Structure 1
Amino acid sequence: MFEQAFKNIDDILHKDAGCTSELDYTEQSSWLLFLKYLDALEQEKALEAQLEGKKYRYILDADYRWDNWAVPKTEDGRIDHHAALVGDDLRDFVNQRLIPYLHAFKGKARSADTIEYKVGEIFGEIKNKIQSGYNLREVIELVDGLRFGTQTEKHELSHLYEAKIRNMGNAGRNGGEYYTPRPLIRAIVKVVKPTIGERVYDGAAGSAGFLCEAYDFLRAKPNLGTRDLDTLQKRTFFGKEKKSLAYVIAIMNMILHGIEAPNIIHTNTLAENLSDIQERDRYEVILANPPFGGKERAEVQQNFPIKTGETAYLFLQHFIRSLKAGGRGGIVIKSTFLSNTDNASVALRKQLLQECDLHTVLDLPSGTFQGAGVKTVVLFFDKGAPTSKVWYYQLTPGRNLGKTNPLNDADLADFLERQKTFADTVQSWSVDIANIDPVTLDLSVKSPNGGEAVALRSPKAILDEIGALDAQSAALLEEIRGLL
């Protein structure tokens, strides 16, 4: 039921002149899903208060509650089409009254960790792009059919929402910003092993995949008490995200995973001066896939002791500084970081090796990230002691990874098992830091077993990829024409 509703929503948005891509479909369904969720949350809290003989104070005024403006109902629970706004009236109400009203909550909220603040911040960033009020009416009624009442319903919705984010990653020109393969994230979380009471941080949150998977990991722990659950809700997961669309999606993704008021801040993490980070600002666990390839301006680079325009290198400095002593990190970065000879790369490797124990490097195969033609590695490190030995694992799934053949949990099972003991195998080995070049500090993935095993692709796989790339190019050209 949910899956068909999402498909129908996308079909309607595809026909609307204001929505031109998968990114727009996800953005527009996200803000409507959020308001539907907020209404369900308010109804639940009002019922709880009533059962306790108390009066619930609604966040939203009556005119702006879902059941009044979006889907007014008759006494038998059906949508009252005589009272429901439609066409230009609906579109104008949303654009001129609803969204400005919701945006104003940011200034009225008592603190940034409240649902009121999140409401205000989301609707300061989001705009209704659905130009036809008739299309908007259809989408609203489909969203109204979605239910958040049980954990099973929330679980199903969260999986479908993850699928939408994955589709954004596949369709968007910057897909890696929105979607890190979830099997990879789950493996990283299992290695770093956050515990209840530790604070988990992602300063390049994207769609909050790392925080959601860390929440699922901790939520599955046995015998959690009320205090543990409250800690997970309010004092465990923290993130920052620069881009408006990713910020909104991150909030919605965490809500669907079960966190009512996510601690995600909409900000440019790199605008923060590294010297301003104090002990109270540090975290026990950092999990992230920072954007790479970007070029930061000179004024942003001034916030960092190692000056570089490479965004990922600035983020790595931020993460090292933001970890508590004894804290643990799992960070995705381009594999060229391990071997580049420019001053910034060498200086950053030196800092990492001196301030942290870089105990594990997971070398990922090409195709791990859809649409990103770069090789990547995952750095696992503990802060507080220098590195003495690095264990490398070269992931070789035995097939060519692609959109139709993505990374899966089984691909990472051997890595997770071998990493527990830093075992030497055909795919894994250890290197003493004393044996690396002290000048270049080259940490390249150089297997003593004869290099990486590469799976040869079949002619069909090659043709399928060519067809997929042609389709992406055609879609991009169509999108460009629509903007002209």
Structure 2
Amino acid sequence: MNTASIVSKVWSFCNTLRDDGVGYGDYLEQLTYLLFLKMADEYAKPPYNRKSGIPFDYDWQSLRSKRGTELEAHYLVTLRELGQKKGLLGQIFTKAQNKIQDPAKLYKIIAMIDEENWVMMGADVKGDIYEGLLEKNAEDTKSGAGQYFTPRALIWAMVECLRPEPMKTIADPACGTGGFFLAAYDFLVKNHRLDREQKEFLKKSTFRGNEIVANTRRMALMNMFLHNIGDIDDELCFIASTDALIAPPFESVDYVLANPPFGKKSSLTFTNEEGEQDQEDLTYNRQDFWATTSNKQLNFVQHIRAMLKTTGKAAVVVPDNVLFEGGAGETVRKQLLLNTDLHTILRLPTGVFYKQGVKANVIFFDNKPAAKQHWTKEIWFYDFRTNIHFTLKKNPLKKDDLEDFITCYSSENRHNCTETYSENNPEGRWRKFTYEEIIARDKTSLDIFWLKDKSLTDLDNLPAPDILALEILENLEAGLESFRTIVGSLEETEV
């Protein structure tokens, strides 16, 4: 069966299950379990003859031999038993549940998967099928899965700017479904002629991640496995289930690519004395942090800096409050300017993330060894927000939209870059500010714009009504989030 037929078959079955109330996320879960078992079965046969650690009683063949209620009962036991195993196997099946209540349809999915030889199938084909389902799942706003899915065009641009090299380590402390890892993998494969040692390092030792949500971590592991990262019999798992912020990193890495979860505070949910659900803000008291705060975003920025080798590089998506917030925010910004070369900030438009109300940026910085003088000499800003409009369905962000930024960023010597902004070209989106100009700003704010918003002056060039309505909604939700940030800051001050 050709690629198009396989994709069509997988998708059509997903639509059939949706009629039974099984969403993309639930379908993805079951597909993950069953694909893993099928591929383990294929690897156990010649010419591979590899041991997967899956007991004979719970392997793929044991599922194929059953139907009806017997199949459903056996599937439940299989999921439970495999979830208690170690390594990649245990992580894939952690907290696994059967979401397909109709045994006949479960059998049809098993039959559909059994028809193909997945190991022999190209990694790009398997990956495209799975990535497509992940994106569809992210589009389902009710599921909340969008917060774990970063637009692939943005990920691609960030990787293109960092340009990772072979035999270097790449980390993401909140890796979601693994989008940054896959993009970095593709970049390395396409841009370097890798020898045997480099290929083995890329497959086994390049990536390190954290993801605390079990289902999201499961999808990340399967997504990478289908893209030929990791092995079926791996005893260790390169995506940890622990909160990355709890303790200092145990090893330094060469690159960090990340889009930490949106939302101001980390919190712990518990049952109080009245038997009601309550929340308590988490504050991470770490000696390697510059500021102690419950602001999750600021903590991730500090943690990412701590993860890097002194020659390490990072590209991180952060919300606007990281650029302007006072208190701990100002402290973190000043320390970044001193201890790293915070050289580039990409201001992103609204309408590109699946979580609405997000006004975000990408900060690029290179870590440096301790020094008496500040490492940041100037910061280049690219305003990709003003007068730019995207919507997720009708006008989604594409790779071509970010080509101009990549061209500006990727000049051979950044310090010899030419601004596109000038008095003669006030519409230029690429502009630099010196360290002295930044440090003189109130609270060392990096929330900088210079382009005029045409919607305020040119009524003839207003965006389409649906885009305008979505933008208004985004602004309202972003405003509410800013107010929450201010309230949170006031609460911290009072404490």
Calculate the TM-score normalised by the size of structure 1. 0.81
The one-letter code sitting in structure 2 at the alignment partner of 1:264 is I
| 1:328 paired residue number | 313
| 2:383 paired residue number | 394
How big is each residue's C-alpha offset from its partner over 1:233-258, in whole Å with a ceiling of 9 and x where there is no partner? 11111111010111011001101111
The one-letter code sitting in structure 1 at the alignment partner of 2:114 is D
| 1:9 paired residue number | 13
Are the aligned partners of 2:127 and 2:227 in contact in 1 as well (CA < 8 Å)? yes
Instruction: Please state how far the C-alpha of 1:105 moved relative to its aligned partner.
Output: 2.1
Instruction: Please state how far the C-alpha of 1:209 moved relative to its aligned partner.
Output: 0.2
How far apart in 1 are the matches of 2:349 and 2:444? 23
Change (3 A) 1:248 1:452: farther
Identical residues among aligned pairs (%)? 30
Instruction: Please state how far the C-alpha of 1:460 moved relative to its aligned partner.
Output: 6.0
Are the aligned partners of 2:262 and 2:319 in contact in 1 as well (CA < 8 Å)? yes
Are the aligned partners of 2:455 and 2:462 in contact in 1 as well (CA < 8 Å)? no
How far apart in 1 are the matches of 2:112 and 2:384? 43
How big is each residue's C-alpha offset from its partner over 1:444-478, in whole Å with a ceiling of 9 and x where there is no partner? 1222x546889732236568999xxxxxxxxxxxx
Are the aligned partners of 1:9 and 1:142 in contact in 2 as well (CA < 8 Å)? no
How far apart in 2 are the matches of 1:389 and 1:305? 22
How far apart in 2 are the matches of 1:339 and 1:465? 22
How far apart in 1 are the matches of 2:454 and 2:439? 22
Unaligned runs of 5+ residues in structure 2 are 232-236, 268-280, 370-374, 412-416, 421-427, 473-495
| 1:104 paired residue number | 84
How far apart in 1 are the matches of 2:83 and 2:70? 20
How far apart in 2 are the matches of 1:103 and 1:357? 44
Are the aligned partners of 1:170 and 1:371 in contact in 2 as well (CA < 8 Å)? no
How far apart in 2 are the matches of 1:443 and 1:452? 22
Are the aligned partners of 1:200 and 1:286 in contact in 2 as well (CA < 8 Å)? yes
| 1:28 paired residue number | 30
Change (3 A) 1:340 1:453: farther
Are the aligned partners of 1:165 and 1:178 in contact in 2 as well (CA < 8 Å)? no
How far apart in 2 are the matches of 1:292 and 1:58? 37
| 2:276 paired residue number | none
- 433, 440, 444: which is aligned to 1:441? 444
How far apart in 2 are the matches of 1:452 and 1:179? 31
| 1:208-287 map, 5 Å | 208-261=178-231, 263-270=238-245, 272-274=246-248, 277-278=249-250, 281-287=251-257
The one-letter code sitting in structure 1 at the alignment partner of 2:360 is T
Unaligned runs of 5+ residues in structure 1 are 50-55, 72-83, 107-116, 467-484
| 1:287-366 map, 5 Å | 287-297=257-267, 298-303=281-286, 304-341=289-326, 343-366=327-350
| Of 419-428 and 184-193, the range deviating more from structure 2 | 419-428
How far apart in 1 are the matches of 2:434 and 2:305? 22
The one-letter code sitting in structure 1 at the alignment partner of 2:343 is H
How far apart in 1 are the matches of 2:27 and 2:449? 44
Q: Secondary structure at the match of 2:345?
A: strand
How big is each residue's C-alpha offset from its partner over 1:261-298, in whole Å with a ceiling of 9 and x where there is no partner? 3621122212x223xx35xx110100000002152244
Calculate the TM-score normalised by the size of structure 2. 0.80
Change (3 A) 1:146 1:295: farther
| Of 372-381 and 5-14, the range deviating more from structure 2 | 5-14
| 1:64 paired residue number | 58
How far apart in 2 are the matches of 1:273 and 1:255? 28
How far apart in 2 are the matches of 1:354 and 1:453? 38
Are the aligned partners of 1:126 and 1:244 in contact in 2 as well (CA < 8 Å)? no
The one-letter code sitting in structure 1 at the alignment partner of 2:243 is N
How far apart in 2 are the matches of 1:357 and 1:452? 33
Change (3 A) 1:291 1:390: same
The one-letter code sitting in structure 2 at the alignment partner of 1:193 is R
How big is each residue's C-alpha offset from its partner over 1:20-57, in whole Å with a ceiling of 9 and x where there is no partner? x33222222222222222223333xx3145xxxxxx54
Instruction: Please state how far the C-alpha of 1:322 moved relative to its aligned partner.
Output: 0.7
Instruction: Please state how far the C-alpha of 1:178 moved relative to its aligned partner.
Output: 2.2
- 354, 379, 395: which is aligned to 1:370? 354
How far apart in 2 are the matches of 1:378 and 1:178? 17
| 1:457 paired residue number | 463
Q: Secondary structure at the match of 2:382?
A: strand
| 1:416 paired residue number | 406
Are the aligned partners of 1:9 and 1:29 in contact in 2 as well (CA < 8 Å)? no
What value does the CA root-mean-square deviation take over the aligned residues?
2.5
| 1:88 paired residue number | 69
Change (3 A) 1:460 1:334: closer
- 190, 214, 226: which is aligned to 2:160? 190
How big is each residue's C-alpha offset from its partner over 1:364-388, in whole Å with a ceiling of 9 and x where there is no partner? 1111113322111000000016211
| Of 225-234 and 121-130, the range deviating more from structure 2 | 121-130
Instruction: Please state how far the C-alpha of 1:195 moved relative to its aligned partner.
Output: 0.5
The one-letter code sitting in structure 2 at the alignment partner of 1:89 is E
| Of 34-43 and 328-337, the range deviating more from structure 2 | 34-43
| Of 235-244 and 169-178, the range deviating more from structure 2 | 169-178
Instruction: Please state how far the C-alpha of 1:147 moved relative to its aligned partner.
Output: 3.5
How far apart in 2 are the matches of 1:353 and 1:451? 29
| 1:38 paired residue number | 40
| 2:100 paired residue number | 130
Instruction: Please state how far the C-alpha of 1:150 moved relative to its aligned partner.
Output: 3.7
| 1:379 paired residue number | 363
- 152, 157, 160: which is aligned to 2:129? 160
How far apart in 2 are the matches of 1:359 and 1:236? 25
Are the aligned partners of 1:2 and 1:157 in contact in 2 as well (CA < 8 Å)? no
Change (3 A) 1:465 1:312: closer
Are the aligned partners of 1:210 and 1:288 in contact in 2 as well (CA < 8 Å)? yes
How far apart in 1 are the matches of 2:341 and 2:447? 17
| Of 22-31 and 295-304, the range deviating more from structure 2 | 295-304
Aligned residues: 424
The one-letter code sitting in structure 2 at the alignment partner of 1:100 is R
Instruction: Please state how far the C-alpha of 1:231 moved relative to its aligned partner.
Output: 0.7
The one-letter code sitting in structure 1 at the alignment partner of 2:355 is G
Instruction: Please state how far the C-alpha of 1:4 moved relative to its aligned partner.
Output: 1.7
How far apart in 2 are the matches of 1:132 and 1:70? 15
The one-letter code sitting in structure 2 at the alignment partner of 1:186 is W
